[in-house]
Amino acid sequence: MTTSIAARQAPRMIRSRSLLLLGLGLGAGLLISAILSSVALGAADIRAATVWEALFRFNGSTEHVIIRTLRVPRALAATLVGAALAVAGALMQGVTRNPLADPGILGIEAGAALGVVCAVFFFRVTSLTSYALWAFAGAALTAVTVYALGSAGRGGVTPMKLTLAGAAITAALSSLMTGVLLLNQRTLDEVRFWLAGSVAGRDLDLLMQAMPYLACGLLLALMLGRQVTTLSCGEDIARGLGQHMGLVKAQVALAIVLLAGSSVAIAGPIGFVGLVIPHVVRFIVGGDYRWILPYAALTGAIFLIGADLVARFVVRPAELPVGVMTALIGGPFFVTLIRWRLAR
Amino acid sequence: MNTHRIRTRMFDATRLSALLLIMALLAACGSVPAAPVSDGAGTANPGASTGSAIVAKHAKGELRLSAPAKRVVACSEEAADFLLALDVQPVGFCSARVEGVKAGAQYELPHFFPKEKLGAPTFLGSSLEPSLEEMVKTKPDLILMLDEADKSYEQASQIAPTMMIDASAQEYWKGTLVEVGKLVGREAKAQQFLADFERNAAAQRAKVAPVIQKTPNVMLLYSFAASDGTMVMNERWTGAQLLKQLGFTLVTPAGVTVPASGFVLISPEVVGRAETDIILVIRPKRADGSVPRYPIDDLLDSLQGVQVVYQEIDPTRGSSAPLTDTFVLEEFARLLSEPAQ
């Protein structure tokens, strides 16, 4: 009998449904606190009362404009992108039974990024709002290609084959992207900061444009919690329980593409959120994806808001792209995870 | 008898062949191009001559030509700028900013340079990695390239004498223009250009003097794309030198340290901290000619007592060079004298 890697590894610290619900409520409270902190704290020192006035009695002053046009969209962008990436990572780890799966490692982010780079190069796309469709197209094409490569040959899809296919596709797409950027100065100038991954400078229009895709992806993912839990126990068990494998995998793939594509469209490629957060969440709630997915959404959002806050202050009054901060945190986590698994 | 005659004829034929061969060699020596070269880097160049008449300094040492160059390849916007300032049209042109043109095609796309000045040179690909095959076809007797294309230097200098321009120093172009002038036989024109530039700068200073009396402090902001952060420049940035030349004082927000590059990425939130009279925002135009609006613009609009001026720049414009700096100097003066009017 195949047992989910996640289920085997995760100590079930919280089992009671009421405790899990309480944890969700606590997480929601923490998320609201994180969003408020993100709105209240920044390079400019603005009093809490002024923040409140800017939100509810806007008068057009510079401080109010900073809150309304810079900090609020930034906090919302970090919330949405963090949640989307964490849920996409959890889905990928659950379905592929690969603890190293995340949209970055399996090439989805590289595909979305190449889609945007090609759009800028060939079609002179310049606005962030126009990036969304190209990011989706790139993400979808890459997801299909990686899955096709990972399922080719004897034994169908295995975690190792998927990881290798993802790594190979990521390397190929990254080389293509480098080639385009070397050939064309304008494209390089246009996307160089976007490629570092950042939630700064995003406006509400962009968020509203990506929101429908992201909301559909999140809803679809949350609806698939039971099926992903079954699938994470192994395909034989899932098939034995009457699960329609093809349909479930297609729905999961659609959710991943919507989530990863929209997050890349908003913030550019941000690594490690989809890798780190599902592991942390599984450690807390166990191997049931009906709980893992909502917890991942909350934790991912809180994590990215926190990383963005650190990125604002670490080189103040300059700023680091949040993608740099997540890499600084996620890189060591990734190495530790591999060493821990090898030790086992 | 017949054998002797045959041998005599063969001897005569051999002597005749030898004579023809010597004549052919002499003729070949006489047809060596008029601008043979060698360069200070010790690179072997076709037809190198020790009796060089022209010596110019460049980033690789000294460049020697026996005669002024007539067919010059410009391997960047800045390189083309030097030639056009001296009224020399390049036979080949490389650019990392040009799109939609294949290497080998006649370059006729719209560009920052007026068409009548640039002409229709052969496009030779990216300035970072030019098409050497197409470059050979233009039969250049001089190639100008910026140090950013350093890895192409050795190969380019096998094709023709190559001047490597170090564009890192402030006002680098003033000395370089004279050296390029020597190589194309227009040193006097180069000196004239420099004198005209200084005269023009004085005229522009006079134009903005009333503005400077009231509003002397300028902060320079730049962001190329919507996803970029906000960059602030100080006087070490080449464009800022022109503002300084006009008499303005460059300021940055309190607490911001600008590194040696002359610019630093800042949080837009600290823009309001700068004690400045004018904020000059440099923003590239899109391909359709429009100028995008970024989230920081709402913040700039809200600043009290500060004049915000936008300079829309052509993405095909190079950085600091003779004609470009002349254009930018005049544009800065025009834009910044408007608040006083």
Which residue of A lies nearest to B298 if distances are taken between CA atoms? A65
pLDDT for B137 equals 94
CA distance B198 to B177: 14
Q: CA-CA distance, A292 to A296, in Å (whole number)?
A: 6
Q: What is the DSSP letter of B191?
A: H
Closest in A64, A126, A183 to B292, CB measured: A126
* B94, B98, B222, B267, best to mutate vs chain A, most A CBs in 10 Å: B267
Q: Is B278 helix (H, G, I), strand (E, B) or coil?
A: strand
Nearest to B302 among A42, A62, A193 (CB): A62
The residue assigned the tokens 């126990």 is A233
Residues of B in contact with A192 (CB under 8 A): 225, 228
C-alpha atoms less than 13 angstroms from C-alpha of B285 in its C-beta half-sphere: 13
Residue B23 has a pLDDT of: 53
Contact B295 A316 (CB under 8 A): no
- Most B CBs within 10 A among A59, A63, A65, hence the mutation to make, goes to A65
Tell me the pLDDT tens digit for each residue of B223-248: 766 666 788 888 888 778 899 999 99
Nearest to A201 among B99, B229, B256 (CB): B229
A201–B286 CB contact, under 8 Å: no
Nearest chain A residue to B300 by CA: give it: A62
Amino acid at A176: L
Indicate which of A187, A189, A312 best probes the interface with B, i.e. most B CBs within 10 Å of its own CB: A189
Handedness of CA B236, B240, B246, B247 (dihedral sign): negative
Residue A132 · residue A211 · CB < 8 Å: no
Q: Which of A65, A73, A200 sits opposite B302 (nearest CB)?
A: A65
Residues whose CB is less than 8 angstroms from the CB of residue B146 and which lie 6 or more positions away in sequence, other chains included: B75, B76, B78, B79, B127, B164, B165, B167
CB nearest to B286's CB, from A44, A70, A126: A126
Chain A: nearest CA to B257, how far in angstroms?
A: 9
Looking at residue B121, the DSSP 8-state letter turns out to be P
Q: Please determine, for residue B138, whether its predicted confidence score (pLDDT) is greater than 50.
A: yes
Question: For the CA atoms of B327, B328, B331, B335, what is the dihedral angle to 10 degrees?
Answer: 180
Cα–Cα distance, A45 to A43 (Å, whole number): 6
Give residue B51's pLDDT band: very low, low, confident or very high (50, 70, 90): low
Q: How high is the pLDDT of residue B106?
A: 84
Whole-number pLDDT of residue B340: 42
Dihedral over Cα of A7, A13, A17, A19: its sign? negative
Place of tokens 């072997």: B44
**Which one of B126, B267, B298 has the shortest CB-CB distance to A319?**
B267
Cα–Cα distance measured from residue A74 to residue A66, given in angstroms and rounded to the nearest whole number: 11
Return d(Cα B228, Cα A328) in angstroms, integer: 21
Cα→Cα distances A331→A168, A260, A275, A306, B31, Å: 19, 19, 10, 17, 65
Q: Which residues of B touch A (CB under 8 A)?
A: 96-97, 99, 126, 128-129, 224-229, 253, 255-256, 264-270, 272-273, 284, 286-287, 292, 294-296, 298-299, 301-304, 315
B256 to A318: CB separation less than 8 angstroms, yes or no? yes
Q: Where are the alpha helices (H) located in chain B, listed in sequence order?
A: 2-30, 77-85, 115-118, 132-137, 153-159, 172-183, 187-214, 238-246, 296-302, 322-337
Q: Of B134, B170, B178, B139, give the one whose Cα is nearest residue B152.
A: B134
Q: What is the mean pLDDT of residues B160-186?
A: 91
d(CA B208, CA B278): 13
* Subunit contact B269:A191, Cβ cutoff 8 A: no
Closest residue of chain A to B303, computed from CA coordinates: A62
**CA-angle at B7, arms to B2 and B8, nearest 5°:** 95
**How many beta-carbon pairs under 8 angstroms link A with B?**
108
CA distances from A187 to A126, A191, A201, B251, B311 (A): 9, 6, 19, 31, 21
Instruction: Give the pLDDT of residue A63.
Output: 92
DSSP per residue, A192-215 = HHHHH---TT--HHHHHHHHHHHH
Q: Tell me the average pLDDT of chain B.
A: 82
Each residue of B252-305: pLDDT tens digit? 988 888 888 788 888 888 888 888 999 999 888 776 677 777 878 888 988 888
ipTM of the complex: 0.72
- Which amino acid does the sequence have at A264? V
**Nearby residues of A185 by Cβ (< 8 Å), 6 or more positions away:** B96, B97, B126
Closest residue in A to B267 (Cα) is A318
Give the Cα separation of A210 and A167 in Å (integer). Answer: 27
Walk along chain A (344 residues) and give the pLDDT tens digit of each residue.
Answer: 344 444 444 445 556 888 999 999 999 999 999 999 999 998 888 999 999 999 999 998 999 999 998 999 999 999 999 999 999 999 989 988 888 788 877 788 899 889 988 888 888 777 777 777 788 889 889 988 988 888 887 777 676 787 788 889 999 999 999 888 877 777 777 787 778 888 888 888 888 888 998 999 999 999 999 999 988 887 778 788 777 777 888 888 889 888 988 898 888 889 889 989 999 999 889 889 999 999 999 999 999 999 999 998 888 777 888 988 998 888 888 788 777 767 76
Amino acid at the residue A329: I
> Alpha helix locations (H) across chain A?
5-9, 17-40, 48-56, 62-65, 72-96, 108-123, 128-151, 159-183, 185-196, 204-223, 225-232, 235-240, 245-267, 273-285, 289-313, 322-343
Q: What is the mean pLDDT of residues B67-82?
A: 94
C-beta atoms of A203 and B295 within 8 A: yes
Of the candidates A92, A123, A87, A122, the residue with the CA atom closest to the CA atom of residue A107: A92
Contact B229 A316 (CB under 8 A): no
